[in-house]
């Protein structure tokens, strides 16, 4: 079985992607390759940050690798939080404060259109390939649901009456931005 490193230690992301790979390729995390490095996301786009991660691991460990960068883009906030989604309210990865800042920023606004976007950079045998997924929706006026992570409790995908945080992992994986990008990645890997 071929191995592929996902340049993350985010358990939620690993679970979502492992589910899509269905055991065809062994997915490894950064912990699995003993990488404790803090890979600086210095890019100004999702594509740049994904590329930084995948190249860092490929160059240092000489293993096939992919990195992703994802975020929430809100029309009324000129695409913000965007590439800064994980640290929108300051500290990195504080989901509750990031969500609260979005809700506060949208207070009184009627345009609540948004999208989640994921970009994956795969470095396979030295060649880089990109895969992207988006899902459109709206931002709820309050938190709803406890599953998922990040902005899931306030994001309601188009065509649904529940947020990502009110869906099971299977339901979310059927339509999420990351799932769409990963499906494109898996389709590519199946051609190798």
Block residue for tokens 């920023």: 105
Q: What is the pLDDT of residue 20?
A: 72
pLDDT of the residue at 22: 67
pLDDT of residue 23: 67
Per-residue pLDDT of the chain (192 residues), as tens digits, is 778 999 988 887 787 777 777 667 888 999 999 999 989 889 999 999 999 999 999 999 999 999 999 999 999 999 999 999 988 988 766 889 999 999 999 999 999 999 999 999 999 999 999 999 999 999 999 999 999 889 999 999 999 999 999 999 889 988 999 889 988 998 898 787
Determine the pLDDT at residue 18. Answer: 78
**What pLDDT does 92 receive?**
66
- Identify the pLDDT of residue 68: 95
CB atoms within 10 A of CB 98: 24
Token representation of residue 42:
């210095």
Cα–Cα distance, 189 to 125 (Å, whole number):
12
The helix (H) or strand (E) run that includes residue 184 is helix 177-189
pLDDT recorded at residue 24: 72
CATH number of 3-189: 3.90.950.10
Q: What is the pLDDT of residue 108?
A: 94
pLDDT of res. 175:
94
Instruction: Break the chain into its structural domains and give their ranges.
Output: 3-189
- C-alpha–C-alpha distance, residues 71 and 84, integer Å: 7
Residues known to be catalytic: 69
């Amino acid at each position: 079985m071929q191995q592929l490193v996902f340049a993350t230690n985010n358990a939620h992301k690993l679970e979502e992607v492992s589910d899509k790979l269905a055991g065809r390729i062994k997915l490894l995390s950064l912990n699995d390759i003993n990488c404790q490095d803090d890979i600086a996301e210095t890019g100004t786009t999702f594509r740049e940050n994904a590329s930084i991660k995948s190249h860092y691991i490929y160059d240092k460990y000489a293993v096939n690798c992919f990195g992703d960068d994802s975020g929430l883009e809100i029309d009324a906030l000129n695409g913000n939080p965007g590439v800064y989604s994980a640290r929108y309210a300051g500290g990195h990865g504080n989901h509750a404060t990031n969500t609260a800042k979005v809700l506060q920023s949208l207070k009184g606004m009627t345009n609540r259109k948004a999208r989640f976007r994921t970009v994956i950079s795969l470095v396979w045998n030295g060649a880089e390939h990109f895969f992207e997924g988006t899902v459109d929706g709206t931002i709820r006026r309050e938190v709803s649901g406890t599953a998922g992570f990040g902005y899931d409790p306030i994001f309601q995908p188009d065509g649904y009456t529940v947020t990502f945080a009110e869906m099971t992992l299977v339901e979310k994986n059927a339509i999420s931005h990351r799932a769409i990008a990963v499906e494109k990645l898996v389709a590519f890997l199946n051609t190798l």
